[in-house]
Amino acid sequence: MSKKILVLPGDGIGPEIVAEAVKVLEALRRDFGLAVELESGLLGGCAVDAHGQPYPEETRRLARAADAILLGAVGGPKWEAIERPLRPERGLLAIRADLELFANLRPAILYPQLAAASALKPEVVSGLDIMIVRELTGDIYFGQPRGIRTLDSGEREGFNTMVYRESEIVRIMRAAFDAAMKRDRRVCSVDKANVLEVSELWREIAQTVAADYPEVSLSHMYVDNAAMQLVRAPKQFDVIVTGNIFGDILSDCAAQLTGSIGMLPSASLDAHGKGMYEPIHGSAPDIAGRGVANPLATILSVAMLLRHTLNEPALAERIERAVGRVLDRGLRTADIASEGTTRVGTAEMGGAVVAA
């Protein structure tokens, strides 16, 4: 039976990069019989312009009916002045919450061809291939109570609540261990159990879930040390699993180890294999409309879609190998260009991946 993929190009460079990812999906459909149906919809600023809301009802209906969603990026200066609830970025939060996309998978891979892009020494990062699994719908970003209150003394105080329920920890742990089963079978759970009760529970449940995965080894690390280790010796990790706020910070840090924001895909999964797939970068308004954006992060997001929702690991690897081959040939968009390489635009890069 054919699977439904909802394509949400979004704003800025979104439509340009998503067009290349769609070319790849269409090639897989044509040449390898991949059974997918594509639909498209509006999310973000384009949806605000058309419907007055960043996550309109029509998009909600399509998103709920889809098996997977491929997203470009949302936002831009055009919508910065409008009131908060109508900002494009709110559309992103709304769709994640609506679909309960609680598991954010962010690989940080350094392609050997791009080793010069990293700020770290080549021997520290060459061959880097780690996966951060960040919980996305809980923690201090959503915990109640929250607010700013005035104390009896007249001084004000701001407060948020870090909170995780057992069931929320169990499902993110399962997502991490499932990811590890497809990789090197090592999970490092990152917390602050020396200080926080919520981390104490986190650690206990990590241990319980680990018992169901005897092939996977589990270790624990405090978040401050994890930040240090990511920069000192990132290759020691396979899968890192952590809560929403620690994961927000560590995943950006890990992305930067590779030095190329235009290369990194991500997945946000629910409990039933449905997922939203998108590059980690934003809508890059500074280069939008010029045909120079790097489409590889979005194309690699399609590979994650094939692996995690469509259960087509061989086709996922085919895409990843094609990207490697295109880099071997020396083709580079501006963001990853270096001396002696061939500068190409967005469409040429996408076309080269399809050909490879």
Q: Which residues are annotated as a binding site for substrate?
A: 96, 106, 134, 224
Distance in angstroms (rounded) separating the CA atoms of residues 88 and 43: 7
Catalytic hit among 141, 178, 184, 235: 141
Of the candidates 120, 111, 40, 11, which has an alpha carbon nearest to the alpha carbon of residue 327? 111
Q: Which tokens go with 216?
A: 């996977």
CB of 1 to ligand NAI, least distance (A): 30
Active site residue 192: yes
Quick check: helix, strand or coil at residue 33?
coil
Which residue has the CB atom at the shortest distance from ligand NAI? 282
CA-based max dimension of the chain = 71
Quick check: helix, strand or coil at residue 117?
helix
- Beta carbons of 299 and 353 less than 8 angstroms apart: yes
Catalytic hit among 11, 192, 213, 277: 192
Distance in angstroms (rounded) separating the CA atoms of residues 39 and 8: 9
CB of 185 to Mg ion, least distance (A): 28
Terminal CA-CA length for the chain: 28
Here's the x/- map for ligand NAI, 12-51, by CB under 6 A: it reads as: -x---x----------------------------------
Contacting positions for Mg ion (CB under 5 A): 248, 252
Name residue, tokens 């929403």. Answer: 244
Binding residues for Mg(2+): 224, 248, 252
Distance in angstroms (rounded) separating the CA atoms of residues 180 and 194: 26
- Which region, judged by CB under 6 A, interacts with ligand NAI, from 58-66, 67-75, 243-251, 321-329? 67-75
Name which of 143 and 285 has its Cβ closer to ligand NAI.
285
Quick check: helix, strand or coil at residue 37?
strand
CA 142 from centroid of its chain's CA atoms: 19
Applying CB under 6 A, does 299 fall inside the site for ligand NAI?
A: no
Applying CB under 6 A, does 286 fall inside the site for ligand NAI?
A: yes
Active site residue 141: yes
Which does residue 248 bind out of ligand NAI, Mg ion, none, counting CB within 5 to 8 angstroms by kind?
A: Mg ion
Catalytic hit among 31, 212, 224, 328: 224
Task: Kindly tell me which residue out of 27, 68, 70, 92 binds ligand NAI, with binding defined by CB under 6 A.
Answer: 92
CB of 252 to Mg ion, least distance (A): 5
Distance in angstroms (rounded) separating the CA atoms of residues 203 and 72: 35
Active site residues: 141, 192, 224, 248, 252
Residues of the shown chain interacting with ligand NAI in the complex, contacts defined by CB under 6 A: 13, 17, 73-76, 89, 92, 261-262, 278, 281-287, 293-294, 297, 335
